[in-house]
Amino acid sequence: MQATIESVHLGAVAVIKQESFQDARGFFTEVFREDQFKELGLPSHFVQDNHSGSVKGVTRGLHFQWEPPMAKMMRVTKGEAFLVAVDIRKGSPTLGQWYGRIISDNSRLQIYAPAGFARGFSVISEYAEIQYKVTGLYNGGAESGILWNDPEIGIEWPVENPILSDKDARAQTLREWLNSPDSDNFIYDPKQDLV
């Protein structure tokens, strides 16, 4: 079964499509194959798998980590959710721009966003589960977030009154992040781009 990059956004955010076999019994797909990911220019070494479940309207993010740098490969395994990535790399030609897409368990698409992007999601079905592979182990001392509705970014979320954690509701703006010394951990490098 072959994995392909369906599309690339903001230079480095990729939508991954996997072939699947389906019959009357159900389906089978290869979610990750090291050789194919290497061939596509995607990370082939992930160190942690995360799995979250949320009710309709829950919005999580926009999260990121700089030490160690953490890329994410996100997919929806139950329900439907809007997955989003925002470029927060200093000097990037797409700094502050976002890409978002509604992904469902039926589409079986994945979205890859490298370190230097803040990621999040919003649940639009009654309940959804999101799984994501990451390239760095979690470090609470070197992670942060960007305010989900920062007007400078202008994400068009599919929910009007999201359910937020206190931490996400109090997150910094993109401008505050860029003015912090920690933002120097994400400097644009064109070698990161997939196109």
Catalytically active residues, by annotation:
63, 132
Whether the Cβ atoms of residue 112 and residue 14 lie closer than 8 Å to each other = yes
What sections of the chain are H helices per DSSP?
34-39, 166-169, 174-178
Q: What residues contact 107, with CB distance under 8 A and at least 6 apart? A: 76
Among residues 157, 174, 129, 125, which one has the least CA distance to residue 59?
157
Between strands 143-145 and 72-78, the pairing is unpaired
C-alpha 79: how far from its chain's center? 17
Whether the Cβ atoms of residue 117 and residue 64 lie closer than 8 Å to each other = yes
Cis ω for the linkage preceding 68 (within 30 of 0): yes
